Amino acid sequence: MNYSFEYIDIILLAMIAGFIFLRLRGILGKRTGFDGNKAPPQFQEVLKNINTEITSQKKDSFDQDAQTEFLKGAKIAYETIITDFSDNDNKIIASKPLLNKEIYNQFNDALKERSKRGHYADITFIGINSADIKEHKKINKILSVTVDFVAEVITCIKDKDKKIISGDPEKIKKIYDTWVFARDVTSVNPNWQLVNILT
């Protein structure tokens, strides 16, 4: 009788484990590109983890563990912003919470200008080859982190008749970006924002 109860327990545990696995897979999935229009929920969760990591120590601490967690969110933010810029509706939707006002206006103006010409960008995000923290510094209550990204994308600009204006829809292009993220470490808002793009 005891064996049968143990057998039933094992089956129940396996079913519960399977359910949890399917739920996690449904939430996280396999990222092959961002579909725009909605900020990925896992990014906000990563941001909260970064905030917890920082505030659980000294306010100005940004040790190796905190940097590792930060880069997880930075990679998702990078992909979200790059792919959001290719949306055919010419609106920065998913990226807006990730951009400060100045960067948002720059992106928005570029999209308006592209739309005015009747062009749109077709971008396929292949993946990030590397993301490395170049420097981080805290001035007063603002912690800023500069990140060097190397990524691969397929990109081209098309007109309203889908004629290619520039780029190559069949060629993978390697891109190099240096972005600066920042947040107020005294704020209850855990979100980091892109505050500068260095050239």
Q: What is the pLDDT along the chain (199 residues), one digit of tens a residue?
A: 544 445 455 554 555 555 444 444 443 433 434 444 444 555 455 555 544 444 444 445 788 888 999 999 999 999 999 888 776 566 677 788 899 999 999 988 888 888 888 888 888 999 999 999 999 999 999 999 999 999 999 998 888 888 998 989 899 999 999 999 999 988 888 889 999 999 7
8 in any annotated domain? no
Distance CA 128, CA 147 (A): 12
**Domain annotation covers residue 3:** no
What CA–CA distance (Å, rounded) separates 57 from 141? 15
The count of C-alpha atoms lying within 13 angstroms of the C-alpha of 115, restricted to the half-sphere facing its C-beta, is: 14
* Residue 84 placed within a domain: yes
Judge whether 23 lies within some domain: no
Q: Measure the CA–CA gap between 196 and 181, rounded to whole angstroms.
A: 7
State the residue range of the domain holding 76: 34-198
Contacts for 111-115: CB closer than 8 Å, 24+ residues apart: 111/85, 114/90, 114/157, 115/90
Would residue 10 count as lying in a domain? Answer: no
The identity of residue 112, as a single letter, is K
Residue 2 included in any domain: no
Whether residue 29 is contained in a domain is answered as no
Give me the pLDDT at residue 41, please.
53
**Cβ atoms of residues 73 and 98 within 8 Å:** no
11 part of a folded domain: no
pTM, rounded to two decimals: 0.68
Beta-ladder partners of 121: 157
With contact defined as beta carbons under 8 Å apart, do 148 and 181 qualify? no
Overall domain count for the chain: 1
Whichever domain contains 150, its CATH number is 3.10.450.240
Distance, CA of 173 to CA of 170 (rounded, Å): 10
CA 157 to each of CA 48, 89, 121, 124, 165: distance values in angstroms, whole numbers, following the listed order: 36, 14, 5, 12, 5
